[in-house]
Amino acid sequence: MNNARLFQYAVIWSPTEAQEEEGQKAKLIVELTTVLSTDEKSLGLKAARAIPKEYDDQLDQVEIVVRAF
């Protein structure tokens, strides 16, 4: 039996160099979220599903950060 563990995740969007020149800055697109998950892999899937649709074409600029307890 796999016991659920406590994790937190957030998703950060970072601009390209061209976007930085336009004045855009990195931003948090999914707030810090606390969840129970059996492992980081399944948590990564949950976090990926939380990414807003408007960033679907910019996934190479998105970073999912995870913290386990």
How much is the pTM?
0.88
Contact 30, 8 (CB under 8 A): no
Give strand pairing partners of 27.
13
CB within 8 A of 69, min separation 6: which ones? 5, 6, 7, 8
Q: What is the pLDDT of residue 2?
A: 73
Contact 31, 50 (CB under 8 A): no
Report pLDDT digits (tens) over 4-59.
999 999 999 999 999 999 999 999 999 999 999 999 999 999 999 999 999 999 99
